Amino acid sequence: MPSELEKWYAHRDRPDVVLVDGFHAVKHALRFGADVLVVLATDKPAAMALAHELAPDLAGAFEILAEPVTPAVLAELVSRPHPTGVAALALRPSLDFAALAGRTSPVVLLEDPRHLGNIGAVVRLAAGFGVTGVVTTGVTDPWHPAAIRGSAGLHFATAVGRVDLDSRPAGPVYVLDPDGTDIRDLRFPDDAVLAFGTERHGVSDQLRSVAAQLVAIPMRTGVSSFNLATSVAMALFHWTAARPA
């Protein structure tokens, strides 16, 4: 029977396998049903202590799955090992378009995002607010290991994937744009697509052209912009605050 380290070498280059880096990311992957193939830990007793303290529901899974390796070995396998010394490989789920079509909560659309930390932060927000998912356009892979680290593994708690703008999820598109209607004067429907432009260039003409509504978040004069994840957080809070209790 192959060791966990042998499994790592066997699976790591598969296109349908992603790196899940750090105790909390692995914790969330396991909690939300990821198909975790292998878990490595540079200090298994410390990882188990974290599991018993922060995720007692998963302590048994960590005990079974985690294989001890030296820090030097993990450093060879992971370019920037997490301080917790825990890493895993998991199958990357395909984007569930059926779930997007039959949703009862919004989808966040990020147009051509480039900052992997921002993508991860937005996925974490989507999971926390319980929205249906996050879709991106452009060349950046939303399942990049740095994005998964940024979401603390919560990619597995919501739908995440890449689409073309023309194949975006159905539903009214609300584009966040400084020229739009004040967000305080409207309510997002539960099937909304909440769309956000690029960090540098804002919303494209193509995205603006499909908008059912342009929406502006109030901002002090002279301030250039909000961070992408901050804007998503404000929009999702506005959505959830307007829903019936």
What is the phi/psi pair of residue 181, to 5°? -70, 140
129 and 217 housed in the same domain: yes
Of 91, 119, 135, which marks where a domain is finished?
Answer: 91
Q: H helices within 55-115, ranges in order?
A: 59-65, 71-77, 97-101
Of 34, 56, 91, which marks where a domain is finished?
Answer: 91
Q: H helices within the chain, ranges in order?
A: 4-11, 23-31, 44-54, 59-65, 71-77, 97-101, 116-129, 145-150, 205-209, 228-241
Secondary structure (3-state) at 205: helix
140 and 202 housed in the same domain: yes
218 and 103 housed in the same domain: yes
64 and 175 housed in the same domain: no
Four-residue CA torsion sign, 232, 233, 238, 239: positive
144 and 224 housed in the same domain: yes
123 and 233 housed in the same domain: yes
> What CATH code is carried by the domain that includes residue 18?
3.30.1330.30
Task: Please say whether the beta carbons of 215 and 176 come within 8 A.
Answer: yes
57 and 168 housed in the same domain: no
162 and 197 housed in the same domain: yes
Helix (H) / strand (E) containing 40: strand 36-41
Minimal CA–CA distance to 158: which of 134, 176, 180?
Answer: 134
Q: Please report the pLDDT score of residue 199 as a whole number.
A: 67
> Other C-beta atoms within 10 Å of 152: how many?
22
pLDDT mean by block of 10 residues, the chain; 245 residues:
79 94 97 96 96 96 95 93 96 88 93 94 97 96 97 97 91 94 95 89 89 93 86 96 80
Q: Please report the pLDDT score of residue 2 as a whole number.
A: 61
> What CATH code is carried by the domain that includes residue 221?
3.40.1280.10
Minimal CA–CA distance to 105: which of 224, 189, 169?
Answer: 189
Q: Please report the pLDDT score of residue 200 as a whole number.
A: 73
Task: Please say whether the beta carbons of 173 and 191 come within 8 A.
Answer: no
Q: Please report the pLDDT score of residue 226 as a whole number.
A: 84
Tokens matching residue 205 = 């003409």
Q: Which residues contact 26 (CB under 8 A, 6 or more apart)?
A: 20, 36, 39, 86, 87, 88, 153
> Other C-beta atoms within 10 Å of 79: how many?
10
Range of the domain at 43: 4-91
Task: Please say whether the beta carbons of 176 and 194 come within 8 A.
Answer: yes
Tokens matching residue 192 = 């909304």
